[in-house]
Structure 1
């Protein structure tokens, strides 16, 4: 049975949701699932904007057949060639053999790399090219490295719709509510949206900035991403988040404490620091165990908060391995502009503090506060003054 929704009078959402998959890209946990969005335009010509992941292909095909109502499919616009959006290209070709594919030159190359049989079917477009499908006129806009090099977005000037590929997307399955004004986004979706952006697109902030600049020059009324809700109002909220995330500016003044502990002693120091911060009036404090929290959540929270405390045990004279993995992800995703404080622990040769400082120093615009503690096995009364100094330096740096 088909399951579709109208986006505008002529544009239909024909995607679907996946709730069985435990990991997105076989890396990131998606306990709330994920949607794969595709859109179908009915005009003088019929146009499909992107496909879906193979896991929901049957639903996808039923949706397309229902909306077309016996009409043929004339065009398939492929904004992004990643398999979670392009896996069903050949299935569409088999069912609609006269369809023509509109994409960038590099997307066409990727289709060949994936083994798709598309010879003679591709119309390659570049930045600024336009097409008319009847009443609807579209412009193709380059979006390289958001987040693959072949990506583009398509702007329908007739309805003011931006088919935004992987920009403005989110983790999370759709439970019948397609539009942003049908959900409480700030309560129920922002964490998944941030985690999606920071882990999937986060490395490419300058490229996102370029796309935001292009988007500011056109009259966008609706944003149709390939994951998550469709935005038909309050676009400023979403664009502001993307502006902050792509600038690597923190959303909030607050302290994120991440600890790596083997036997609980470093955790105790982290709890002590959090308590002292709250007592001094800084109540926007969160604590995470680096060993128990998936790194995708840690990255998302690191993009959110202005201050990060790394409290880490020394392990084989090195950084505790889960902490090292987290820091390396921060570096790989181009995190910058954070204020950091370090707490190291070790029973005979504390080393983690200096090693963490060295790695953070390789990242852009990272401020590492001078006040730090080197613990010997456990926090003691002699360490209280140093902990208070850390609290004072964090609060002072927020002014």
Structure 2
């Protein structure tokens, strides 16, 4: 158990058993499922944890309560990694009042067979709940990243309980860079909902926030401007860093050779950062992260079954379903008899906003030759022009 403030205790758990978070995101350093207890005239427990850690969490809660009974269980988000222990908690503490949005209560009814008559409090956007000297203010955050989500601002200690916002991959007993794994977490899980995150950031700007308590990742107490700036960049789909990300697939090595030539040319011309990703072998979620991090993207693939190679198709789908926008994209295709990849790749971005296409497109017919090598040179020049 960790002390957040004199009145707030951390009672979350670390999960080192999970290999894929949400069934798709590799988490080599595990995950943290965060929960907090607020101690005042009345006590409040903020969210629960994944079902595999119910018993450990209940012990943490009991230790923090020190023999007291919880008055409120505040549910900010109904995703099972945070809500799965609700039923077990209420068996131990049956007199607790559950506080949640109306949409969250509807989901509680879907996940559990619980009769909450007489022990539920429907939170309203902007409403407050007094615990004594501490007061909770509810801030609705719909579609960040589920529709029932709310955040809670505690105005005495100036703490924002931010639900999945400002979270990251990784258990709390491991040391790793916040930016990298928070970026991968945000873009993968919340990235589609930039407009909704922007709305919440505008609400947060009116609050005096000294501490952020997310449902994943560390409690944030210092340099909060850094984290808020990152979220503003990510949720407004602006490039975070200067550089070029090259994502490719290659069957027999000829497309790879073109990519390596382009990367060499970019470095020779002083490109600040060149990131190359083999979509068939490198971790897809990290490739998606880099595509959002940098302002320029080059896609290189083969024509395959009158379409594009599956890993490239999958990668572009990841980008477009997360509202990829405000970027410059260049295209490289390879085809031995009927090159179609550039046209198909471009078509997959037809609903994307503010995409600037390089004038130079590269077409390789089987293997690099003088003509396609000259196109690579021209593409490097165009990428480095700004």
In the other structure, the counterpart of 2:147 is 149
Deviations 1:287-337 (A, max 9, x none): 001111232112111110000000011111101111001101111111111
Deviations 1:40-86 (A, max 9, x none): 01111111000111122121111011111111111100011110100
In the other structure, the counterpart of 2:133 is 135
After superposition, residues 55-134 of structure 1 pair within 5 angstroms as 55-120=52-117, 121-134=119-132
Residue 5 of structure 1 deviates from its aligned partner by 0.2
In the other structure, the counterpart of 1:165 is 163
When the two structures are superposed, what TM-score results if normalisation uses the length of structure 1?
A: 0.95
The answer to whether residue 22 in structure 2 is matched with residue 18 in structure 1 is no
C-alpha separation in 2, matches of 1:260 and 1:281: 25
Two-structure CA RMSD over aligned residues (Å): 1.1
C-alpha separation in 1, matches of 2:158 and 2:333: 54
After superposition, residues 316-395 of structure 1 pair within 5 angstroms as 316-395=305-384
In the other structure, the counterpart of 2:35 is 38
Residue 359 of structure 1 deviates from its aligned partner by 1.2
In the other structure, the counterpart of 2:188 is 199
C-alpha separation in 1, matches of 2:156 and 2:178: 29
Residue 124 of structure 1 deviates from its aligned partner by 0.1
C-alpha separation in 2, matches of 1:356 and 1:370: 15
Please give the secondary structure, in 2, of the residue aligned with 1:70: coil
C-alpha separation in 2, matches of 1:302 and 1:276: 20
User: CA separation of 1:118/1:300 partners in 2, compared to 1, >3 Å: closer, same or farther?
Assistant: farther
In the other structure, the counterpart of 1:179 is none
Asked if the contact 2:160/2:209 (under 8 Å) is kept, the reply is yes
User: CA separation of 1:118/1:155 partners in 2, compared to 1, >3 Å: closer, same or farther?
Assistant: farther
Residue 15 of structure 1 deviates from its aligned partner by 0.2
C-alpha separation in 1, matches of 2:173 and 2:115: 35
Please give the secondary structure, in 2, of the residue aligned with 1:45: coil
Please give the secondary structure, in 2, of the residue aligned with 1:350: coil
Equivalent residue for 2:208, pick from 203, 219, 236: 219
In the other structure, the counterpart of 1:269 is 258
The answer to whether residue 2 in structure 2 is matched with residue 5 in structure 1 is yes
Please give the secondary structure, in 1, of the residue aligned with 2:5: coil
C-alpha separation in 2, matches of 1:111 and 1:143: 18
Please give the secondary structure, in 2, of the residue aligned with 1:168: coil
Deviations 1:98-151 (A, max 9, x none): 011000000000000112414212100111111101110111011000000000
Please give the secondary structure, in 2, of the residue aligned with 1:330: helix
Asked if the contact 2:87/2:112 (under 8 Å) is kept, the reply is no
Deviations 1:151-189 (A, max 9, x none): 00000001000000011100011117xxxxxx6x7xx22
C-alpha separation in 2, matches of 1:154 and 1:189: 23
Asked if the contact 2:246/2:275 (under 8 Å) is kept, the reply is yes
C-alpha separation in 2, matches of 1:100 and 1:116: 16
C-alpha separation in 2, matches of 1:392 and 1:69: 67
Runs of 4+ in 1 over 4 A off after TM superposition: none
Higher mean C-alpha deviation, range 296-305 or range 104-113: 296-305
Tell me how many residue pairs correspond in the alignment.
385
C-alpha separation in 2, matches of 1:382 and 1:112: 64
